[in-house]
Structure 1
């Protein structure tokens, strides 16, 4: 998938564990792991908002578009 999730980068910069982030955001560690590992099909804006608030960052610090072989059909590469 051309969407890359960089939550690990922000966790390292903030010296925060996955468990602490999940607790502060209000989601389960399992759901955070799905998002963190790039297996999520969607993310709610309220979750993205909470992640940005806790990590003190912008949405673009957490997700980015990297075009490649996995681009959706009909979308520019």
Structure 2
């Protein structure tokens, strides 16, 4: 998967339990666990905002793009 979720790493760095974060954000621990494992198709911006607010971080601290091996970058061409 090209988007890597680093939520578990950030929680460990800040010594925060998943239960605390889930309660603050207003989601179940089960859903937070799925997010930590990268097993979700997406995350709502308001959920991401609450997570970042609680952990005092930026979205880029939680999500990273890692292209799959063997994929090529597409080159954009200017119109005209």
**Deviation, structure 1 residue 9:** 1.2
Query: Which residue in the other structure is 1:76 paired with?
Result: 73
Query: How many matched pairs?
Result: 74
Q: Which runs of 4+ in 1 moved over 4 A?
A: none
TM-score by length of 1: 0.87
CA distance in 2, matches of 1:57, 1:4: 16
| CA RMSD in angstroms, aligned pairs only | 1.9
TM-score by length of 2: 0.84
CA distance in 1, matches of 2:47, 2:70: 25
Greater Rg over alpha carbons, structure: 2
SS in 2 for 1:38: coil
CA distance in 1, matches of 2:22, 2:13: 16
Unaligned residue ranges in structure 2 (runs of 5+): 75-80
